[in-house]
Chains A and B, each alone.
Chain A
Amino acid sequence: MASLDLQDISKRYSNLAAVDTLSLSIADGELVCLLGPSGSGKSTLLRMIGGFEIPSSGKILIDGVDVAPVPPDKRPTAMVFQSHALWTHMNVWENIAFGLKLRKFSRDEVAAKIARVMELVGLTGYEKRHPSQLSGGQQQRVAIARSIVLEPKILLLDEPFASLDQHLREHLREEVRQIQRQLGITTIFVTHGQDEALALADRIVVMSKGKIEQVGTPDEIYARPQTEFVAGFIGVMNLVSATVSGGSLAFAGEALSAPVADGLATLAIRPEDWKVGEGAGLKATVTRTVNLGAYVLADVALPDGTTVKVHLDKARAVREGDPIEIGIGPFALYRDNMVIHRS
């Protein structure tokens, strides 16, 4: 169990910076999700922590020791790959025992450790199977067992469930969370699925173009996105460009108080933050509805032609073409990607 400190880490390929002078501190026992679109540098960052890529510059401190020049076999990290990367010429037992044997544990110790970890991932009895005889979820569990049996200081997971179906993914996500809590192991989880990050993480690191956009708890990231990128990337967000002049913002014929400098800005409002109903202010029309189970996500056309997304209660039973009245609720303003005002 350990803390991790990344100091001004960069990875440059010729002229392109996959990771650009990035710094991040992760506390002992924390589960952190690196979240971002493909090409944001999150996997490269994880591979640098694991030792599979050498940073162009910067330090990687594990419990205060710089491991940047240390090869992966000598690092106290363990990685679970997206492709699970089980060794197909070995059975499950041999896969998990490989690292233990390299560490010169006695035969009894190896057997005891494997029995414990197999129980932890719920695969007791599958020791003699070959990877090809396991389902995708079981294969990924073996990969996790293979990593945690070595009691690494830091566990790294590189989109481990990307190739599994939604249901299994949610199930395994919960299991990983439980195992992580039980062992108290510092864990970094790379994903491009925001629901995975929101459900799993103590803290989320949102990345874009090799840089950190925002670090925060899932609640913070969702409720108070610091940048327009995060606002647009996490959850559903209405982003409408509008002009501020004299401390007031013109939106669909209404003037909103906005104590910021004059100029263009982006108004951001969540679909669930609209006021809906009589007297809300803006007379609009429902143009499309999507049933999302617990609620309806509706496209609503405002009088000035702008279309926005609005959460509606099922009880409202709206249909396409129905008139509706909505009003601005809590919103945020962004300029040059940064938040400049919240209300």
Chain B
Amino acid sequence: MIRRFDLAGLVIAAALVFFILLPVLTVFIWAFAEQWFYPSLLPTKWGLRFWSKVLERPDVWSAFWTSMKITTLVTGLSALICLPAAYAFARMEFPGRQAFMMSFLMATAFPRFAITISLAVLFLVFNLVGTVTGVVIVQLLTTLLLMIWLPTAAFRGVSRNMEEAARDVGAGPLRVFWSITLPQALPSIAAAVLMTFVWTFYETEGAWLVGAPRITTMPILMMQMINNQMVVQYGAVLSVLLWVPSLAALLLARRVLGSDTFAKGLGA
């Protein structure tokens, strides 16, 4: 059978390549370019000179460790707060449950920039501006929605009979949660944790509004380099560098969970 030539599919694919892959590719090429003058399609001189230059800078390394520290803290705290809450939303009946979920959604739909500004003003009063604590709190707030909604759906998807069967053979409530509920919900939870990690790593508004000028995370450093320096390569190299941890995390997740369960966790 001859497959029909699908023009629409080709057009969409071409558009995706043009708007997504091409810009990414440009950044990549810039990262490995030592000289690239206007009329030529490709760099006139390739090389890793700017890589060593970027990696020699102490501010890059300190920003990297600051980012890792804050991101790990935010993800860990978020899991600690949100996973029990998600379980409560999924399994327990309490008055105002629906209303709370809705208000939560509405608050998250509110323009984040406005909320962040008002938080920054509030943080001035508490002396939290320019501190790790301040950045962690502001970024934590942005993760709550994802870390509650996705695991709530996951916990709700765990068959009640499975939990009852575990109670039946002698497991107490905590044991049931640990041995049955959590493993059953794990693919979705892992996906949520991973996405939280990646999003937090790249979070800029909060980190900038609350953290500046003392806290410099990787994305902030990248912004500064792009804004303040005439050398394009610094920004490009840093972009590629920033791409590494998120790609590693995603690949790891795929390996651990298998692409099927991972996609399921993301709602596919």
A 48-89 binary contact with B (CB < 8 Å = 1; else 0): 001110000000000000000001111001110101011111
Q: Give the contacting residue for B164; candidates A74, A79, A86; CB below 8 A.
A: A79
Instruction: Evaluate contact between A83 and B164: CB separation under 8 angstroms.
Output: no
Instruction: Evaluate contact between A81 and B167: CB separation under 8 angstroms.
Output: no
Closest to A102 in B: B170
B interface size (C-beta, 8 A): 18
List of A residues within 8 angstroms of B167 by Cβ: 51-52, 71-73
Closest Cβ of chain A: how far from B165's Cβ, in Å? 4
A 85-101 binary contact with B (CB < 8 Å = 1; else 0): 11111000000001100
List of B residues within 8 angstroms of A78 by Cβ: 168-169
List of B residues within 8 angstroms of A74 by Cβ: 170
A146 contacts partner chain B, Cβ-Cβ < 8 Å = yes
B25 contacts partner chain A, Cβ-Cβ < 8 Å = no
Q: A85-B159, A89-B183 are in contact. Are A98 and B164 (CB under 8 A)?
A: no
Whole-angstrom distance between the alpha carbons of A83 and B161 in the complex? Answer: 8
A 115-143 binary contact with B (CB < 8 Å = 1; else 0): 00000000000000000000000000001
Instruction: Evaluate contact between B162 and A85: CB separation under 8 angstroms.
Output: yes
A interface size (C-beta, 8 A): 25
Instruction: Evaluate contact between A72 and B184: CB separation under 8 angstroms.
Output: no
Instruction: Evaluate contact between B184 and A150: CB separation under 8 angstroms.
Output: no
List of B residues within 8 angstroms of A107 by Cβ: none
Instruction: Evaluate contact between B179 and A72: CB separation under 8 angstroms.
Output: no
A171 contacts partner chain B, Cβ-Cβ < 8 Å = no
Q: A85-B159, A87-B180, A88-B184 are in contact. Are A73 and B170 (CB under 8 A)?
A: yes
B 186-230 binary contact with A (CB < 8 Å = 1; else 0): 100000000000000000000000000000000000000000000
Instruction: Evaluate contact between B159 and A89: CB separation under 8 angstroms.
Output: no
List of B residues within 8 angstroms of A87 by Cβ: 162, 165-166, 180, 184
Q: Chain B CB within 10 Å — which of A73, A86, A147 has the most?
A: A73
A167 contacts partner chain B, Cβ-Cβ < 8 Å = no
List of B residues within 8 angstroms of A98 by Cβ: 166, 169, 171, 179
Whole-angstrom distance between the alpha carbons of A99 and B165 in the complex? Answer: 10
Closest Cβ of chain B: how far from A87's Cβ, in Å? 6
List of A residues within 8 angstroms of B180 by Cβ: 87
Q: Chain B CB within 10 Å — which of A51, A89, A146 has the most?
A: A89
List of A residues within 8 angstroms of B170 by Cβ: 73-74, 99, 102-103, 150
Q: Chain A CB within 10 Å — which of B162, B165, B180 has the most?
A: B165
Instruction: Evaluate contact between B161 and A73: CB separation under 8 angstroms.
Output: no
Instruction: Evaluate contact between A77 and B168: CB separation under 8 angstroms.
Output: yes
Instruction: Evaluate contact between A73 and B171: CB separation under 8 angstroms.
Output: yes
Closest Cβ of chain B: how far from A323's Cβ, in Å? 56
B172 contacts partner chain A, Cβ-Cβ < 8 Å = yes
Whole-angstrom distance between the alpha carbons of A71 and B184 in the complex? Answer: 23
Instruction: Evaluate contact between A50 and B175: CB separation under 8 angstroms.
Output: no
Q: Give the contacting residue for A50; candidates B162, B168, B186; CB below 8 A.
A: B168
A 145-177 binary contact with B (CB < 8 Å = 1; else 0): 011001000000000000000000000000000
Given contacts A88-B162, A98-B171, could you give 6 more A-B pairs where the C-beta distance is less than 8 Å?
Answer: A72-B164, A77-B168, A79-B164, A87-B180, A103-B170, A150-B169
A-B contact pairs, 17 of them (CB 8 A): A51-B168, A72-B167, A72-B168, A73-B168, A73-B170, A73-B172, A77-B168, A78-B168, A79-B165, A87-B165, A88-B162, A98-B171, A102-B169, A102-B170, A102-B175, A147-B168, A150-B169
Chain A residues engaging chain B, CB cutoff 8 angstroms: 50-52, 71-74, 77-79, 81, 83, 85-89, 98-99, 102-103, 143, 146-147, 150
